[in-house]
Chains A and B, each alone.
Chain A
Amino acid sequence: DGGITQSPKYLFRKEGQNVTLSCEQNLNHDAMYWYRQDPGQGLRLIYYSQIVNDFQKGDIAEGYSVSREKKESFPLTVTSAQKNPTAFYLCASSPGTSGGHEQFFGPGTRLTVL
């Protein structure tokens, strides 16, 4: 089955700890994205990458970091500098600028800071 996987589904973190959320896709998509969703709100873009070894900040990048060493993987690290990290995190991918706009989403990771 082709698709996007995110792990873990639920994640608990103590204040002051960094935590890394996993996102893997086997759709052979060039572009990948990370969004944050807070209760009752829309999706806000954290980081995106249109090609391996390159990524750009989205609208709310402060306190987050990413890497794109492989086409199929785009992990997100929530650092201790992120003041309010409790949220639902969604990863997405799309074919890229040459292949169309549709973004496919993973099932999400719910992060709770204790």
Chain B
Amino acid sequence: QQQVKQSPQSLIVQKGGISIINCAYENTAFDYFPWYQQFPGKGPALLIAIRPDVSEKKEGRFTISFNKSAKQFSLHIMDSQPGDSATYFCAASRAAGNKLTFGGGTRVLVKP
């Protein structure tokens, strides 16, 4: 079964701190790993994505780290801000199709 396991379910971080969210997958055919950000009552929006040929990708304060051998990837939010308070979802898909498998989500609260 294709699964993506995400942890933690929730986390609280002080403003300026680092938020770290981890995901693990089983299907070695996955080759695209996006992260989505969702605010309450809204649809998710793509934040950043990575493919397995790189081990790290950075966009502003958001960084994805990818460990192919361990089948794990993580999102780091540096210098966390109250506006980053949202639910974050990791996902994965195969090259042969666009069907995404989502993790369970992590609710992040950044305290001012």
What residues of chain A have their CB less than 8 Å away from a CB belonging to chain B? Answer: 4, 31, 33, 40-45, 48, 50, 58, 90, 92, 94, 96-97, 101-108, 110
Contact = CB atoms under 8 A, between A and B. Distances in A.
Contacts of B97: 50, 97
Contacts of A40: 9, 105, 107
Q: Which of B41, B100, B103, B105 has the most CB of A within 10 A?
A: B100
Contacts of B102: 42-44
A105 B24 CA distance: 24
B34 A107 contact: no
Contact of A48 (B44, B89, B96, B99): B99
Given A50-B97, A103-B100, A108-B43, 12 more contacts: A41-B104, A42-B104, A43-B44, A43-B89, A50-B98, A92-B43, A101-B49, A101-B93, A102-B34, A103-B34, A105-B43, A110-B41
Interface in B81-112: 89, 93, 96-100, 102-105, 107
A36 B95 CA distance: 24
Interface of B: 6, 9, 32, 34, 36, 41-46, 49, 89, 93, 96-100, 102-105, 107
A105 B44 contact: yes
13 contacts: A31-B98, A42-B104, A42-B105, A43-B89, A43-B102, A48-B99, A50-B97, A92-B43, A96-B98, A101-B98, A102-B34, A102-B49, A108-B43
A104 B98 CA distance: 12
User: What does DSSP make chain A's interface, helix, strand, loop or mixed?
Assistant: strand
A108 B104 contact: no
A92 B99 CA distance: 11
Contact of A45 (B6, B36, B99, B105): B99
A31 to B, nearest CB: 5
Nearest to B106: A42
